[in-house]
Structure 1
Amino acid sequence: MKVDWPVARWQWGMDLLGRGISGYAVIGESCTIHASIQDALVRHGISVGESVTSVHVRSDDGELISDGMGEYRAIGSLLESDLLDWVSGKTLDLSSKFIVGSSVTYSWLSSRFDPKDDSIREPLAFLLSVNCIADYLIVTLETYIDAWMPFDLRGRSQPERYEFNAPRLASALLDISEIVGSETDPCELSKLARATETGVENLLDDDGCAEDVWFRYFG
């Protein structure tokens, strides 16, 4: 089942200044991290088919320097060099004298989730973003489907789907943690499920059963 707001969200952080990364280099680092994570998500079947990547860059006074919405498309993984060439060649005049205040690189990802039919894809199943603010980088991964949980959002058991999907998500989260170099932070934000360091758990009612959150929020 799919909803219009995140079922679960995870984040990772990186101190750019501590690694000697600043200025224009934050744009490159954002693209590099994004491409590496995209590759990991492709390996685990979390990201399949075409994805659209956007790059937005603002100066330190808030001026929008680049708005690349919907410009860069890729089948499967993103090639870092291609993405960097696109950013520098089509959306940024790197000779301009400005200080990078923030850089956001993000992609909507389609995912495979059905254990019985490899051709089935769920569009817009994940949102991956890499946000550089000043000297700090934040990676955020959000899922909008319940295929990673033991029970769906209506509280119905889905053992085959869970056994097929949960290990792949757990492996992907671990890979992202290693790429960024920080522990996975499962955000306590969703009222639909509970994110963990390794996946997604259902919310439980007073009897310890998976809660029908779909009925509670969608009627």
Structure 2
Amino acid sequence: MRAPRECASWFWDLEDYASPGLRSALGTAARMSAVLRDYELLKPSALEWHWVMPGRGSIAKTRLQLPKPLDGEQLAESVENLRPMGFPQAEFSGFLVTGPGMWLDERGAQRQEYGLVELTVSAEPLGLSADVAVHHDIWGPFDFRGTPHPEVHQQNAPRLAAALKDLDGLLGVSAEPGQPTYFGRAEGYGVGEPEVADGRGPDLTDLL
């Protein structure tokens, strides 16, 4: 099951890793998504971002399919060419990288799921930051009904943890846990275990 909010997320401050700007953000996203792709967690297929006007906030949301490499010069030009007409001062705020990923069911069979892992790279004025978020119950020891699913957890959580550790190594900085939500929280390189009563976790389906 997929929650409308993340059940865990991890944040990297990349001010010392990469300079601000569109091309730097695309290059960073390319390197990070290559790690996630190696673990079959995210095969980038589209970018989504907001155009922002100082003092006005978001003025438009854009989605672009990815026929080109994330760090290619043509892609940077394509993004810039999509700036809303009439707003030449609109700024690129960073973007969400989306695409399918692979997870394993309790029998070890492979399943494809769009948005299994989401990567966000934000282009702040002083430097970049990045965020990896997960929304599905396969990463924790219980599903969103509170039912234990140790086989599903064991088939999937170690791969996510390995990818996050590799991202730390790539970026030269350790991930910070994101804010907890109703659906869970990050703990180390995985989803934290919730309070357990009579062998079951909380039933979170009321907000699904």
Instruction: Structure 1: give runs of 5+ residues left out of the alignment.
Output: none
Instruction: Find the aligned partners of 2:151 and 2:24 in 1 and give their Cα distance.
Output: 38
- When normalised by structure 2's length, the TM-score is 0.80
Residue of structure 2 equivalent to 1:117: 109
Instruction: Find the aligned partners of 2:137 and 2:101 in 1 and give their Cα distance.
Output: 12
Which secondary structure state, in structure 2, belongs to the residue aligned with residue 4 of structure 1? coil
CA contact (8 A) 1:47 1:109 kept: yes
Q: Are positions 1:32 and 2:22 aligned together?
A: no
Instruction: Find the aligned partners of 1:202 and 1:19 in 2 and give their Cα distance.
Output: 32
Q: Are positions 1:51 and 2:42 aligned together?
A: no
Q: Are positions 1:21 and 2:19 aligned together?
A: yes
- When normalised by structure 1's length, the TM-score is 0.77
Residue of structure 1 equivalent to 2:85: none
Instruction: Find the aligned partners of 1:157 and 1:63 in 2 and give their Cα distance.
Output: 43
Residue of structure 2 equivalent to 1:70: 63
Instruction: Structure 2: give runs of 5+ residues left out of the alignment.
Output: 83-87
Residue of structure 2 equivalent to 1:104: 94
Aligned length: 202
Q: Are positions 1:86 and 2:86 aligned together?
A: no
Identity %, equivalent residues: 19
Distance of aligned partners of 1:107 and 1:81 in 2 relative to their CA distance in 1, 3 Å threshold:
closer
Instruction: Find the aligned partners of 1:196 and 1:92 in 2 and give their Cα distance.
Output: 40
CA contact (8 A) 2:41 2:100 kept: yes
CA contact (8 A) 1:8 1:193 kept: yes
Residue of structure 2 equivalent to 1:5: 5
Shift of 1:33: 0.9
RMSD (Å), alpha carbons: 3.1
Pick aligned residue for 1:178 from 169, 172, 179: 169
Distance of aligned partners of 1:100 and 1:173 in 2 relative to their CA distance in 1, 3 Å threshold:
farther
